[in-house]
Homo-oligomer: A and B are copies of this chain.
Amino acid sequence: MTPEAADATATGTVTDTATGTVLLAGIFSGDLEEAWQEIQPDTARRLLIAAVEAFAARGFHATTTRDIARGAGMSPAGVYVHYRSKEELLHQITLIGHRHTLRLVREVSASVSGPTRQLHAVIRDLTTWHARHHTTTRVIEYELHSLSPEHHTAILALRREIDGLVRQILEDGVGQGVFEVPDVPTTTLALLSLSVDVARWYHTPARHSEERLGQLYADLALRMVGSEPLP
């Protein structure tokens, strides 16, 4: 990977490998669909979106670079002007997605006070995000094993941060006596499982809107930690 692309992890911008063009800026405001819109140039964005759709539908290894090029309306060689390899496409998608998830948990958690409201809001929005963007989240949750070892390790660090934020809410709740949780780490895992697994099974048309599902899952989450429901 070039120094430019490597900078993605450190600075929060994503830079085109070949052209040096800044691909992503301000990705941390707004939802992911908007973030894709910020990727420049156009072709790099179309390629990334085509890759997300193909990886979600068929998996990383079953997707060919020709599929991706075709999805972006380009020749097979066009991919390599903007990305060094198929794996770099997966890495960018996975990195952007995980940063978005981490930021979502952080900001939602900071936007309300008290473990009960925090847990409810986090699970609600995390679930809604997995449902609304199930194409993207399916890739970022289930194609990790196709990343290079270095990229895989870096993504796992982000995942541990996310886990840590949720676990802290549970520990706060237990400490304040509003949650009753026999095993905080395992219950944290179970809560995250609920939202993550939405990426596996959710598809439209769906029984519930993304927001409604988020509400239902947030209510389940409060039950799981032995909390009173929100008023």
Contact = CB atoms under 8 A, between A and B. Distances in A.
A142 B183 CA distance: 27
A219 B182 contact: yes
Contacts of A182: 216, 219
A208 B186 contact: yes
Interface in A161-214: 182-183, 185-187, 189-190, 193-194, 196-198, 200-201, 207-208, 213
A146 B219 contact: no
Contacts of A32: none
The 3 closest A-B pairs by CB, nearest first: A61-B61, A193-B197, A61-B62
A217 B219 CA distance: 17
Stoichiometry, copies per complex: 2
Interface in A119-143: 142
Contacts of A71: none
Contact of A193 (B142, B146, B194, B219): B194
A58 interface: yes
A59 interface: yes
A193 B196 CA distance: 9
Contacts of A186: 207-208, 213, 216
A196 B193 CA distance: 9
Interface residues of A, number: 32
Given A145-B58, A146-B62, A201 B220 contact: no
Contact of A194 (B62, B146, B194, B208): B194
22 contacts: A59-B59, A142-B142, A142-B200, A183-B208, A183-B216, A185-B207, A186-B208, A186-B213, A186-B216, A187-B216, A190-B217, A193-B193, A193-B194, A193-B197, A193-B198, A194-B194, A196-B200, A220-B224, A223-B223, A223-B224, A223-B226, A224-B224
